[in-house]
Structure 1
Amino acid sequence: MQYHLNEGSFSLYSSDWLDNSMNVLRDDSNGVTLIVSRGPVPEDSDFEKEFHRQWDTMRSQMTHLQQSEFSRISVGAQQQIRAVQVTSQFERNGQALYQHQLAVPVAKNATLMVLTYSALRPFTEEDAVRWEALKKTLTLHSTGQDA
């Protein structure tokens, strides 16, 4: 398997590798973090069920949770990518968190990729514009192995 990163690529020996990687991008000047996480979707599930399962697991770690409905949407320049979106605010370890999350299937539905746009403050109108731009500009590689 050839694994690609922004910095380069490398070959891995033949095996059943699963990409459970995470990228954390920080915009310190605007107080925003974007986290891109990936993980396998079990054979008896799909990306949407797996996203809900992960949310069910995390709920016990959140207090004062307020969240939107989970919405099925289409993203990408041509609205060609299926996705599920949710917005939330909650406290974790006494810290208020505000999040937009987008879950998309990658690599023929075998991988769940979640984009989390997060701040330690309420979102602004500028954040809303940036979140919409991120969703509109999302493209997926056919292999699903680029990080």
Structure 2
Amino acid sequence: MSGVHCLQSFLTALSRRAPRMRYHLNEGQFDIPEDGRIDRSMNVLAMPDGSGTTLIVSRDALRTQETLAQFVTRQMNDLTRQVSQLKEVSRTDIAVGPAIASLHAIELVTQFKQNGQALHQRQAVFLLPQDPGGRSVLILTASSPVPFDAEAIALWRRVLESFQPRA
């Protein structure tokens, strides 16, 4: 299907009185047809010093009957095909958000080479509680060309502790 045809189909669906969802982003919000679309958007926050250190927020969804642990395993298998020298340093259950209302997450610590460059990553993968279907996954990723030192790990922990899902 061509890009023009896809856009026309999208606009036609939007003009109907079909159920819609309000899609929120940092800059605003808009309505889209509520037709089962999966949000796979990403936000990349890069350090201004050009160091290559980033904080990435990405979104996905569990497959039917898939658990969060199975999702993480599937994503790691996909990553194995995309990078070289992948090493999973640890996989741990953690809490994200303030202690009074924390969310269960799986934290991955990995290192690998991508396009010849060494990368070190820490990821927190968790389900968004506001999704009534319980399938929306949020992945927070800290990525750096150098190993995380104690200060970087402490900052990562503060980011995770400060997460508050939208109501």
Unaligned runs of 5+ in 2: 1-20
Bigger mean CA deviation after superposition, 36-45 or 7-16: 7-16
Determine which structure has greater relative contact order: mean sequence separation of CA pairs < 8 Å that are 6+ residues apart, divided by chain length. Answer: 1
Distance (Å, rounded) in 1 between the aligned partners of 2:54 and 2:41: 16
Mapping of 1:1-147 within 5 angstroms? 1-29=21-49, 31=51, 32-78=53-99, 80-106=102-128, 107-108=131-132, 109-142=134-167
Conservation of the 8 A alpha-carbon contact between 2:62 and 2:136: yes
| Partner secondary structure for residue 90 of structure 2 | coil
| Partner secondary structure for residue 33 of structure 2 | coil
| Partner secondary structure for residue 127 of structure 2 | strand
Distance (Å, rounded) in 2 between the aligned partners of 1:134 and 1:81: 14
User: Once the 2 structures are TM-superposed, how far is the Cα of residue 73 of structure 1 from its aligned partner?
Assistant: 1.1
| Partner secondary structure for residue 38 of structure 2 | coil
**Residues 76-123 of structure 1: CA deviation (Å, up to 9, x unaligned):** 111620000011111122110010011011125311111110011222
Conservation of the 8 A alpha-carbon contact between 2:92 and 2:107: yes
Decide whether aligned partners of structure 1 residues 128 and 137 sit closer, same or farther in structure 2, where only a CA change above 3 A counts.
same
Larger C-alpha radius of gyration, 1 or 2? 2
Conservation of the 8 A alpha-carbon contact between 1:105 and 1:111: yes
Which amino acid letter does the alignment assign opposite residue 89 of structure 1? Q
**What RMSD, in angstroms, separates the aligned Cα atoms of the two structures?**
1.7
Identity of aligned residues (%): 31
Distance (Å, rounded) in 2 between the aligned partners of 1:14 and 1:69: 37
| Partner secondary structure for residue 68 of structure 1 | strand
Bigger mean CA deviation after superposition, 37-46 or 6-15: 6-15
Distance (Å, rounded) in 2 between the aligned partners of 1:64 and 1:15: 39
Unaligned runs of 5+ in 1: 143-147
Which amino acid letter does the alignment assign opposite residue 70 of structure 1? R
Distance (Å, rounded) in 2 between the aligned partners of 1:30 and 1:72: 32
| Partner secondary structure for residue 100 of structure 1 | strand
| Partner secondary structure for residue 38 of structure 1 | strand
Distance (Å, rounded) in 1 between the aligned partners of 2:70 and 2:90: 15
| Partner secondary structure for residue 42 of structure 1 | coil
